[in-house]
Amino acid sequence: MNDIKYYFEKAKQEKFAVGAFNAANIETLKAIVGAAFELKSPVIIEASAGEVSYIGDKELRALVDVYKERFNIPIFLNLDHSHDIQASFEAIDAGYDLIHFDGGELEFTLNIEQTKQVVEKAHLSNLIVEGEIDHIQGSSDDHRQTDARDMQKLGSYTKPEQALDFVTKTKVDILASFIGNVHGIYKESPILDLELLKQISSIIPYTYLSLHGGSGISAQYITGAIQSGNIVKINVNSELRITFKETLTTEVNNTDEIAVYKFMGPVIDSVKQVVMDKMQLFGSVGKI
């Protein structure tokens, strides 16, 4: 089955989440796909504006298609945190499966207006759109010397009534809300407001919910969000990047080899292990 809506509905009914992992290069892509194939898990490949610029939107679409054909597993491609309508349109035209239009830093009315434009175009191609109304703080940088509470204080927690208003007016398929989740890895896991998540889920029961900042959130909150809050998509980026860099640094510092592909094996394996651990935690193993 190669329909992301099918897997989101399956995830909602069976209480698991599909992992969405950022791929900035061929090595990371290999790691993610390898993990999905080995664990028989559906998977979403994420690409931010920077990653799309680096790889190319059509090039990334072609790479994902090659892996889908080779491994015969459901792999979906998502434009992650797009702040630009035109870039979102280009991803739609390139055949991406999901579009995350992030208007979280826009004035609410303007966010509705722009998100609605993306939804209308995407739905013509039967594509799914994720919207965001409260900017999720942090970044995919290494924040392990920072207290997550300091970053949480910068955000505005999602109001259920506003979430309903936004979803009703834009017709988005997925909502990314802020319940204390922050991008990046911190000294300790951020504390999530799972009761607020339940309220959001209850007021928009037919809208799928995503959880950003999956790298730094402890297992108890991940499980709680899936079981009680109908989270069906969880984003992971920072852990992949940190693992990639740290393993690559070790490999480069311990070899005289100059053929890059010859010392990339351990790097790919280390990233793959992170993805596999997340898939186990999210409950998506064997869901193909």
DSSP string, 4-23: HHHHHHHHHHHT--EEEEE-
Average per-residue pLDDT for the chain: 92
Number of residues in the chain:
288
Confidence of residue 178 (pLDDT cuts 50, 70, 90): confident
Query: For 244-259, what is the mean pLDDT?
Result: 96
Task: Give the residue numbers marked as catalytic.
Answer: 80
Domain segments of the chain as ranges: 4-282
Asked whether residue 275 carries a pLDDT value surpassing 80, the answer given is yes
Summarised one tens digit per residue, pLDDT across range 183-239 is: 777 767 778 999 999 999 999 999 999 999 888 888 999 999 999 878 999 999 999
Q: What is the CATH topology of the domain spanning 4-282?
A: TIM Barrel (3.20.20)
pLDDT of residue 119: 98
Q: What is the pTM of this model?
A: 0.93
How many percent of the chain have pLDDT more than 90?
A: 79
Residue-wise DSSP of 80-93:
EEE--HHHHHHHHH
**Structure letter (DSSP) for residue 192:** P
The tokens 């940190």 sit on which residue?
A: 242
Residue 72 CA, chain-centre distance (Å), reads 22
The number of beta carbons lying within 10 Å of the beta carbon of residue 144 is 13
pLDDT of residue 153: 61
Residue 33 CA, chain-centre distance (Å), reads 15
Q: Which residues contact 275 (CB under 8 A, 6 or more apart)?
A: 19, 21, 31, 32, 35, 36, 43, 236, 240
